[in-house]
Structure 1
Amino acid sequence: MTLASNAPEISVVVPVRNEAGNIEPLIREIARALSGRSFEIVYVDDGSSDATPAELQRLQTELPFLRSFRHAASCGQSCAVRTGVRNARGSLIVTIDGDGQNDPAYIPALVDALTSGGPTTGMIAGQRLGRKDTGFKRWQSKTANNVRAWVLKDGTRDTGCGLKAVRRDVYLALPYFDALHRFMPALVKREGFDVGHVDVVDRPRLTGVSNYGFFDRLWVGILDLVGVWWLVRRRRRVPVVTGGANDAG
């Protein structure tokens, strides 16, 4: 997909499943956070069975910066993010969870950190403070992050935070698999780019309940971790390419 000359600079990609009550409040918050900037909001409905599709359709008639896409059946968060990025028109991508726990007020800080880092900075990852999840969810997240950091040495305290800013071309260069969103810092570094971090304050979800469990993805997560470790180990060197000019004449 070639980006149009009149494309917005920033595309905020929001993966959702059964989040009808959170959609409008979150969209309004994102729009306020990016007021005065060139942006679009790209929702990807990952096979919702509630009023999410109708709510997105209603809001699209009112908000020109809102676009939405839908999976006929749920394919998972990483797949929804990928659909959003592939259809995004901005060169800078911001991802944010659709349940309202990520505060859009931090989006400008993420974008500014990405652009000020120059072309060698591929991604800025949000790092959550003051987690509002249950004690069990905080424990499982801390355990998973500690194991991942020990294995991959990606320099990131919290890869589970949905708030991330990444260059679109960098994201599309990453190898895709269904848990990609949990391993992006290591894979962005694998492509030869720097990863920066911004602390963000977590908050309770706006409405509804979490769509994600622990034991249903535990063993899959272990296999994914081994796979990413293998990918990182198997890239010995990122090429520095020069040339390409036509010297004839």
Structure 2
Amino acid sequence: MDYQFTIIVPVYNEEDNLARVEQELLAYIKIASKKTKILFVNDGSKDNSQQLIEAIAARNPEFQYISFTENRGLSAAIKAGFDYTNTELVGYIDSDLQTAPEDFNLLLKYINDYDLVTGVRANRKDSFVKNMSSTIANGIRRAFTKDGMDDTGCPLKVIKTDYAKRIPMFKGLHRFLPAMILLQNGKIIQVPVQHFPRLAGQANFGVWNRLFGPLMDCFAYLWMKKKYINYSVEKQS
């Protein structure tokens, strides 16, 4: 099949969520505005996630997977998904499904005119501590990157794949995807999307990850921005 859009689903110890992930993504595929397939990236899960992923892929041809030998983190899972994508568009959604797959259609409306479209979570259904730490972290990141985005941690994005594949790899990458597209002279936009409470499993990020980690990553981003190589080809033989 000529798929146009790959949705990356990073997975780390999400066995309690995967049946729902299968159900909701199958429902989305039927209404997707682009021909869509799913790519699970199992980030070294220690539970039964891999067995469940293999069963899902066996009964659904639209589902594929790759599995890490060990846990390498969310940024590595997203980057691996970019590397293994062969469609013109790529996106991702967290396996906790706190965002809605059907909202991909909202983002896809803008992808012809932009190179990255990111969701911004409206009426977030998280704890006060999580919301406050994310707000502070986003403010710090915005001050460093000047990307103008309010919620780069939103786990719902669509990117043109040729831009995604040119993003260099480093830990904390997932917080800087809009800024990385701007470094390529690409165009970005944010679009409000739905947000829901986590129904199963446990969040893999604490206050350190959401607040202090992003602050340190900002310095890494500034170093990379100074060293970043960007070019455009005018002619080719």
- Does the Cα contact within 8 Å between 2:133 and 2:210 map onto a contact in 1? no
Cα offset for 1:34? 2.9
Q: Give the whole-Å Cα distance in 1 for the aligned partners of 2:93 and 2:177.
A: 14
Q: Which range moves more in the overlay, 137-146 or 99-108?
A: 99-108
Q: Give the whole-Å Cα distance in 1 for the aligned partners of 2:140 and 2:212.
A: 13
Q: Which residue of 2 aligns with 1:135?
A: 128
Q: Give the whole-Å Cα distance in 1 for the aligned partners of 2:27 and 2:108.
A: 15
Q: Which range moves more in the overlay, 30-39 or 222-231?
A: 30-39
Alignment of 1:52 onto 2:45: no
Map of 1:66-215 to 2, 5 A cutoff?
Answer: 66-115=63-112, 117=113, 121-215=114-208
RMSD value over aligned CA atoms?
Answer: 1.8
* Partner SS state of residue 207, structure 2: coil
The change in CA–CA distance for 1:179 and 1:18 in structure 2 (over 3 A counts) is same
Map of 1:14-53 to 2, 5 A cutoff?
Answer: 14-35=9-30, 37-53=34-50
Cα offset for 1:222? 2.1
- Does the Cα contact within 8 Å between 1:125 and 1:164 map onto a contact in 2? yes
Cα offset for 1:59? 1.2
- Does the Cα contact within 8 Å between 1:186 and 1:232 map onto a contact in 2? no
* Partner SS state of residue 166, structure 1: strand
Cα offset for 1:231? 2.6
Q: Which residue of 1 aligns with 2:218?
A: 225
The change in CA–CA distance for 1:29 and 1:216 in structure 2 (over 3 A counts) is closer
* Partner SS state of residue 18, structure 1: coil
Q: Give the whole-Å Cα distance in 2 for the aligned partners of 1:60 and 1:225.
A: 37
Cα offset for 1:84? 1.6
Cα offset for 1:31? 2.5
TM-score by length of 1: 0.88
Q: Give the whole-Å Cα distance in 2 for the aligned partners of 1:69 and 1:154.
A: 31
TM-score by length of 2: 0.92
Cα offset for 1:123? 0.4
Matched length:
235
Encode CA deviations 1:205-237: one digit per residue, 9 max, x unaligned.
Answer: 2311111112257544322101212333455x9
Q: Give the whole-Å Cα distance in 1 for the aligned partners of 2:230 and 2:61.
A: 40
Cα offset for 1:190? 0.5
* Uncovered stretches (5+) of structure 1, i.e. residues with no partner: 1-5
Q: Which range moves more in the overlay, 187-196 or 18-27?
A: 18-27
What amino acid is the match of 1:147?
I
Q: Rg bigger for which structure?
A: 1
What amino acid is the match of 1:199?
P
2:234 equivalent among 238, 242, 245 = 242
* Partner SS state of residue 41, structure 2: strand
Q: Which range moves more in the overlay, 128-137 or 86-95?
A: 86-95
The change in CA–CA distance for 1:240 and 1:80 in structure 2 (over 3 A counts) is closer
What is the aligned-residue identity percentage?
28
- Does the Cα contact within 8 Å between 2:119 and 2:156 map onto a contact in 1? yes
* Uncovered stretches (5+) of structure 2, i.e. residues with no partner: none
